[in-house]
Amino acid sequence: MKINILKKSGKELKIELIGSSHGLCNLLQKRLLEDKTIDFAGYDVPHPLASNPLIYIRMKGDQKPEDALIRAIEKVREMNDAFGKELNHVLKA
Helix-helix angle 65-92:22-33, to 10 degrees = 110
Half-sphere CA count of 87, side-chain side, radius 13 A: 6
Which residues span the domain enclosing 64?
2-92
Q: How many domains does the chain fold into?
A: 1
What's 43's domain CATH number?
A: 3.30.1360.10
pLDDT in tens, the chain (93 residues): 899 999 999 999 999 999 888 889 999 999 999 999 999 999 999 887 878 999 999 999 899 999 999 999 999 999 999 999 999 999 997
Question: What is the residue type of 59?
Answer: M
Query: CA end-to-end span of the chain, whole Å?
Result: 36
DSSP states of 45-83 as a string? -S-TTT---EEEEEESSSS-HHHHHHHHHHHHHHHHHHH
Q: pTM, whole model, 2 decimals? A: 0.87
